[in-house]
Amino acid sequence: MMTDASLAFSDLEARARAMAGDVPADRISVRDHVVDVEIGAFQAERGVTQRLSFSVVVEVSDHGGAQTDDVDDILSYDTITEAIMAELDAERLNLLETLAERIAQRLLHAPQPQRVFVRIEKLDRGPGKLGVEIVRDRSGQSGTAGTDDTPAPILTFLSSTALKSHGLGTFLDQLEQDGVPTILVVDADLPTATDSWPARNIALLQADQAAWRLAADDARSVPVGTRTELDWGLKNGQLSVWAPSKMVLDAVDAPVSTDLADLTLWFAQQVDACQILWVGCPARDIPGISSQSVMLEDLL
């Protein structure tokens, strides 16, 4: 039995266990995440950085991640570290209390978190650690709609002609230098699938293979098959190549067609694309999204 005093100085996991109800919740945690930050109300803390240590425990609602082994079904650790960095990047703050509150509220805007424990400690302001710790739950939330700061990407559909062009490497160089959030879709020249489930799977796996072939030719191109990884790539400057089989086969509203152009139009809506560039092939239009046919040499 933990006393109030021992609980006050225990780790966050111990406090979460002690505060659990009859049915303990699943918990996701990030501990001892150290970042150099300019923060503090004292003049001596202005114009310099100091180390902050972040420990966050998030209690989550029931989910199927353990059964599906699917990263899209769980709260990603990246969600926690991104919440920390988003609040640090937003503005300079004086108080750890303010920072902890904003991190907790940002996490609670996501659908799965039910309760959040946040501990922040200054490591350089004395002989020991100086910190704050808060616990927040959904009772203070006005809704579950959160801030999604994933940028709207440009989808670039690379036709078989573009893939064979000697200028493709230069084009990828340019994409890397421009830093515009981009997802590549690679034309796989897929056969028209019959109504059979095996034929549909084979066609989509061929599309995945086309993405991996591009990665083999240019290591900057990273095949990605889940929405979680795609969002991370868009936020972190990764040049992702869509490997479509998982998203298409898991979706209830995906086209039955295995024509990759049809799938690209559907995918553009899933990722809230702002534009589709059809490189080396005719454009396919979709309401609400700019669509343009271009030749590779026109982009260089």
Structure-block tokens of residue 114: 């039910």
Spatial separation of the C-alpha atoms in residues 205 and 68, rounded to whole Å? 20
CA distances from 133 to 32, 64, 100, 241 (A): 13, 30, 8, 41
- Which is catalytic among the residues 45, 101, 235, 246? 45
Q: Verify whether residue 45 is a known catalytic residue.
A: yes
Q: Find out whether 106 and 83 touch, Cβ atoms under 8 Å.
A: yes
What strand order describes the sheet that includes 26-37? 26-37, 50-60, 113-122, 130-137
Q: Find out whether 244 and 208 touch, Cβ atoms under 8 Å.
A: yes
- Residue 219 CA neighbour count, 13 Å, CB half: 0
- Which is catalytic among the residues 59, 82, 87, 122? 122
SS (H, E, C) 111-164: CCEEEEEEEEEECCCCCCCEEEEEEEEHHHCCCCCCCCCCCCCEEEEECHHHHC
Q: Find out whether 54 and 45 touch, Cβ atoms under 8 Å.
A: no
Q: Verify whether residue 97 is a known catalytic residue.
A: no
Q: How many CB atoms lie within 10 A of CB 272?
A: 13
Nearest Cα to Cα of residue 171 among 160, 153, 184: 184
Biggest alpha carbon–alpha carbon distance for the chain: 72
For the chain, where are the alpha helices, taking DSSP H only?
Answer: 4-8, 12-18, 65-68, 77-90, 96-108, 160-163, 168-178, 197-217, 227-235, 245-250, 260-270, 296-299
Q: Helix, strand, or coil here: 45?
A: helix
Residues that are catalytic: 45, 122
